[in-house]
A and B are shown apart, each in its own frame.
Chain A
Amino acid sequence: MSQPTQEDELLAQQALAEAAATHGGGEVTSGLSQGQIVRKRFFGHTGALIGLAVFAVIFLLAFTSVGAFGIPGWWKYTHVDVSPLVNDGAPTSSLWPFAWGEHPFGQDRIGRDLFAMTMRGAQQSITVMLLIGGIAGAIGAIVGGLAGYFRGWVEAVLMRLTDVIIIIPLLLLAAVVGQIANRRDEGSWLNGFAANNGVVILGIFLGFVSWVGLARLVRGEFLTLREREFVDAARISGASNARIIFKHILPNAVGVLIVNVTLTMSAAILLETALSYLGLGVKAPDTSLGLLVAQNQEAFATRPWLFWFPGLFIILICLSINFIGDGLRDAFDPRQKKFRAKSAVETAKHSSTTTAPVADTPKGS
């Protein structure tokens, strides 16, 4: 809190937001709303933009190529189709001259098309990721918000519940829950739905155990916000609890929520692939990126492409989500970004000229 630049930026941002809220676009300020400021900062973040673009491409590719929700895709094979081996299953795509070929990512031993399998796997992994993000975000916001706003026994009960869940390592808990999600008893009420949408059930179940970290963060945010003057003002003017929560506190806490939901999702994709790899997540005959890696790791010496492509997609999805999350954090919370690059470079130049004799001595690294 000692850096004047940060403070200034924060104050300026608050002033902007407040001005925008009260005057609907002030005279001195340019009238940017908080959303506009955030959007502007986010779109100024190169890494986040690249991440967004990569994720969008993968998303479209995965969901249109092999089809989803019963709609057929444009790719000629599906993940279960068996066709004769072309070129002993080696990838037929080439970068120069650019060509897709019959099986761009190759085929496995029995002739299934790896492109179709990878796309199906990416689809499943992305579905699970989004479900985990959505459900964990919703539960985390509700639990954290209620605990932070109402305090008292509500907080005690909810936070002890959070403590109970948070003490179980996520991977272990997820493994147990994944196993439950995969349980297929005859006559179980879930069974009919789960038989077709196993991955949805898995995502929902994993979402139910991933919210604890979010709940703690949201509670912390609510605890600080509920003491602020604008909440007092709203309360004095007779606003109901629901109105204060949804209209006054939640919009201010949404930054923390969105950023951490994104980071939860990047962890979620690794969680899902790891579970599927261990045989506790998505199970054959359906497929997921982790399952593909697990099934094909033994074939690394003979058919390395079976191993490369699914792994590459896991990394690409996770990396792009991480970059988006980083961009969102910088956009929502300028405190996290220590100082702007330009001024930092200037300061560094400045200090290096003034402290040159000292800086010449080894820095100890």
Chain B
Amino acid sequence: MVTYIVRRLITAAFILLGASFLVYLLTALSGDPLEELRTSSAPNRQALMDARINLLDLDTPAPLRYFKWLGGAAQCLVPLGNACNLGKNIAGQPITEALGFALVQTLTLVTGATILAILIGISLGIVTALRQYSALDYGVTFMAFLFFSLPIFWVAVLLKEFGAIGFNDFLRNPEIPPAVALGIGAVLGLIGAVVVGGEVKRRLIVGGSVFAAVSLVLFYFSLTQWFRNPGLGPVLIAIMGAGIAFGITILVSGLKNRKALQSSLIVVGIGVIAYFAVQPLLSDATGLMIFLLAIATILVGVAVGYFMGGYDRGQSMRAAGLTAFLVGALVVVDRFMQAWPSYFNNSRVRGRPIATIGAGTPNIQGDFWIMSTDTLTHLVLPTIALILVSLASYTRFTRSSMLEIMNMDYIRTARAKGLSERSVIMGHAFRNALIPIATIVAFDIGALIGGAVITETVFSVRGMGFLFIDGLLHTDPNPVMGVFLCVAITAMVFNLIADLAYSALDPRVRIKA
């Protein structure tokens, strides 16, 4: 095992050397860094050109410059040594500094989108696999193909137009015309009927109730101007919490395990009481506090599950812990909604909350909630765009993996010994279907940092992609190399993790040491 990892790392180092040499040469070849100065009519043209030649060391041929660069980059390997030197960009800023800033920007952009895309994609894949050759399956398959084929820059412009400008106009006077409310209800009802499957009667009941519920809620929102002053309140949190408790229990243990259901419901009760208790605390929240509260919430849930016990204590603990986490998330969402009106009326936002570009409103002031809301409103559109284009591969992959597993003999065995459909799917099929998915997820996380170039450009986020493209357009190899190093190293590390994870998850695969 250790020999294997060491060997992989040594190979990776050589590959990295070769690839970085290639990228450096290609970037240096790709244009003339002095071009804009050659055509300029500035009186001190020659001085500017000399300064740039000096800065970029253009008198040295590119292959030699690479080794100079390598000498600086090699210092990054010295542990604890603060001598990391990746050169400077064309404006004279050290690359290490620029990289740090860009990395934060890119990670904020892609993290949420990737997690959501993985969650939604995998659930869609499982549902379509379970309902193979149904209307839902064909619909999702077609959508997957469509999303595969969507150019993200095109989607992004549409989102800006309808998601941001359209929604902001709507917020000026948040009244939903009855016809629109009924229309949205009808569409969602139709989707509900297709998703639920089964008998025609069951589909009609589900579709009808979804239609009625959605339309009523939209009427209510329109009447109370909910979109201007949103909020959940303890009652809604209790109702939604109960729904979450049932849903989680169905998934984790099945409703037959009464103790698990009871512990989840108790957790919801605690959550509603805690809602009142934590309000003053949340008013001066920080990111760290939210994080600690989240951990505390999960621990409380797990503890409740532990003391409720039941014939399978683990199931109760898992169900209650998950429920606690989600109810806690509801409370936080409610707090965000409380901050919404003051964000909305902020002098910097001026009633147009959903932003089309950038990573934050310039010069905005406010407490934790205002600042977080600001980040979130800037993340909404890029996140949706990224989810749309990356959803399809997860859905297709999970579907095929799940279908393959569902045909296995041990699934038939599990059914034959009388297990409930839930434990066959969640316990036997899904867990094994996750093995290949885990590796593809690891690959994708490795490719994350370099994968959002276009999204960053469209939404004017100054992340890694911006750094790369900007460096390339100025024929400035240093930022390009910096981005390349980050991207390539994460990709290699996660490729290794993917291989190790595969052998850890699937005992049939053994690593040859």
Contact = CB atoms under 8 A, between A and B. Distances in A.
Contact of B19 (A165, A273, A358, A363): A165
B16 interface: yes
Contact of B487 (A172, A300, A348): A172
A179 B30 contact: yes
Contacts of A364: 250-251, 254, 421-422, 425-426
Nearest to B157: A297
Size class of A's contact patch?
A: 35 or more
Given A171-B453, A172-B487, A176-B26, A363 B422 contact: yes
Interface stretch (A215-223, A241-249, A313-321): A313-321
Nearest to B430: A364
Contacts of B27: 176
Contacts of A336: 400
B469 A278 contact: yes
Interface string A1-36: 011000000000000000000000000000000000
Nearest to A323: B145
A3 B407 contact: yes
Interface stretch (A107-115, A227-235, A338-346): A338-346
B145 A180 contact: no
Contacts of B214: none
The binding surface of chain B is classed by DSSP as helix
Interface residues of B, number: 65
B149 A278 contact: no
Nearest 5 A-B pairs (CB), nearest first? A318-B149, A179-B30, A169-B450, A164-B18, A311-B154
Contacts of B480: 176
Interface of A: 2-3, 160, 163-165, 167-169, 171-173, 175-177, 179-180, 183, 185, 266, 270, 273-274, 277-280, 290, 293-294, 297, 300-301, 307, 311, 314-315, 318-319, 322-323, 326, 336, 338-339, 341, 344-345, 348, 355, 358-359, 361-365
Contacts of B149: 266, 270, 314-315, 318-319, 322
Interface in B437-460: 447, 450-451, 453-454, 457
B419 to A, nearest CB: 8
Contact of A164 (B22, B127, B152): B22
B454 A355 contact: no
A279 to B, nearest CB: 8
B422 A361 contact: yes
Interface of B: 11, 14-16, 18-19, 22-23, 26-27, 29-32, 123, 126-127, 130, 132-133, 145-146, 148-154, 157, 161, 250-251, 254-255, 400, 403-404, 407-409, 415, 418, 420-422, 425-426, 447, 450-451, 453-454, 457, 468-469, 472-473, 480, 483-484, 487-488, 491-492
Pick from B22, B130, B425 the residue with the most CB of A within 10 Å: B22
13 contacts: A163-B15, A167-B16, A167-B492, A168-B484, A176-B23, A280-B472, A315-B151, A322-B145, A338-B407, A361-B421, A363-B422, A364-B250, A364-B251
A322 B393 CA distance: 13
Given A160-B18, A164-B22, A168-B488, A359 B469 contact: no
Given A165-B19, A172-B484, A315 B146 contact: yes
A167 B472 contact: no
B506 to A, nearest CB: 15
Nearest to A296: B157
B31 A361 contact: no
